[in-house]
Amino acid sequence: METTESPLKLVRFYGFRGLKLVKGSGQYVWDSAGRKYLDCHAGHGAALLGHANPDVAEAVARQVSELVAASSGFTTPALEEALHWFSKVAPGWAREIVFLNTGTEAVEAALKAAWLYTGRRRIVAFRGSFHGRTLASLSATWNPKYRKGIPVLGEVEFLRFNSDPAEIAGKVPSDTAAIIVEPVQGEGGVEPASREFLKALREEADRVGALLVFDEVQAGFGRTGEWWSHQHHGVEPDIMTAGKSIAGGLPASAVLSREGILEKLSGGMHGSTHAGNPVSMAAVTAASRHAVKVDLPERAREAGGEMLRMLGEALDGLRAVRRVKGLGLMLGVELRFDPGRIIRCMQEEASVLALKAGATTVRLLPPYMVDGGDARWAADAVRSCICRGYGC
Ligand SMILES: Cc1ncc(COP(=O)(O)O)c(C=O)c1O
């Protein structure tokens, strides 16, 4: 075998999990020793359509052999098809779209458009929020650990997530450009926003003339049981961000808006070399077609409901567990302590990959094709690891 030694040290953004992942199929991945895992990490939720999804794999392979790069100063069949197919899953209020590469870039573009549209600078965000790690999105991200030592923007105000409408009323300053919120907080702890809270934000945005931005990078594209998680509540934003799974696991993101907002980014006000590149666009088309074909929101609702029920049953009565929560296939088990040891045990002892959310939550973001056996596997893994470490 060819040597893979390198004089370069890879700087890891995240703590190393100690596994070399070599292949995936659907909801499963295999490590270099041939061991099979249930993948409820799914690359931070990007593999919602499963690993090696045949529709995505075929479309990407075909596109790579036809045309790999084209600036969005041109058009391509891949871009036109992506626009057509993504519009089938896009929310009805949206009139404009830009494609980018990552979630954080989508948030940057959304905020930039809001600044340009309103001529204002202030951003209102929420405690527990996560919007990404580049400068504007980091400025709207709550966790002080990620912001330490970075000169984040000063004009961001954090209000309490899911507070009573009465607490929100009158709290958004009149010079606010955008209120940005995740309709289901992911990284912050898997917390769905209430309808009343989202309605109060809509009213505040209208009262002061700010734009309401829903960050659907993690909760969107069917994961929670609706195409976009705000559709559970019937409250509509002015701008929405999407990312993670919209290209079946390849890097692509999007921002959608009402008429005349994203328009402000045209004429060179924004741009990115790979934005709208043909390969990612072919993947967006394949992912959207596949998602429509299988009725992804319905599948996520059913599979997520079953997993939530099994987790609830398996963990019922355990003192270590505060609550089991989530929406569709965005699930959390909130513990009374840091979940690091449980997540490690699930990987090492039960072959289930999961990730952390907030200070105390085990987060599960599995691909949509998880079945009843997988739900039992995940629920038993959490239970046995809690019992092993903390007693039942
Ligand atoms: C709600 C939300 N917004 C933005 C981001 C940033 O996305 P990316 O990591 O693709 O930049 C994430 C990533 O987890 C997210 O969950």
177-231 pLDDT, tens digit each: 999 999 999 999 999 999 999 999 999 999 999 999 999 999 999 999 999 999 9
Phi, then psi, of 205 in degrees rounded to 5: -60, -45
Could you tell me if 38 and 186 lie in one domain? no
181: which strand partners? 214
Atom of ligand 1 nearest to the CA of 107: 4
Q: How confident is the model at residue 389 (pLDDT cuts 50, 70, 90)?
A: confident
Of 242, 260, 294, the last residue of a domain is 294
Of 240, 267, 294, the last residue of a domain is 294
14 domain-assigned: no
What CATH number is associated with residue 199?
Answer: 3.40.640.10
Alpha-helix residue ranges (DSSP H) falling in 235-362:
278-294, 296-315, 340-350
What is the extent of the structural domain holding 335? 21-52+295-390
198 domain-assigned: yes
pLDDT at 151 over 70: yes
Report if pTM > 0.95.
Answer: yes
Task: Among 101, 244, 253, 363, name the best residue to mutate to test ligand 1's pocket (greatest count of ligand atoms within 8 A of Cβ).
Answer: 244
According to DSSP, residue 220 is labeled T
Say if ligand 1 is within 6 A of residue 104 CB.
yes
| Centroid of ligand 1 to alpha carbon of 242 (angstroms) | 9
Say if ligand 1 is within 6 A of residue 251 CB.
no
Element (DSSP H or E) covering residue 113: helix 103-118
Could you tell me if 269 and 136 lie in one domain? yes
Check if the beta carbon of residue 178 is closer than 8 Å to that of residue 111. yes
Could you tell me if 158 and 274 lie in one domain? yes
Say if ligand 1 is within 6 A of residue 102 CB.
yes
pLDDT of residue 1: 62
Of 236, 263, 294, the last residue of a domain is 294
pLDDT digits (tens, 9 = 90+) for 277-333: 999 999 999 999 999 999 999 999 999 999 999 999 999 999 999 999 999 999 999
Query: Is residue 199 classed as helix, strand or coil in its secondary structure?
Result: helix
Could you tell me if 259 and 380 lie in one domain? no
Atom of ligand 1 nearest to the CA of 45: 14
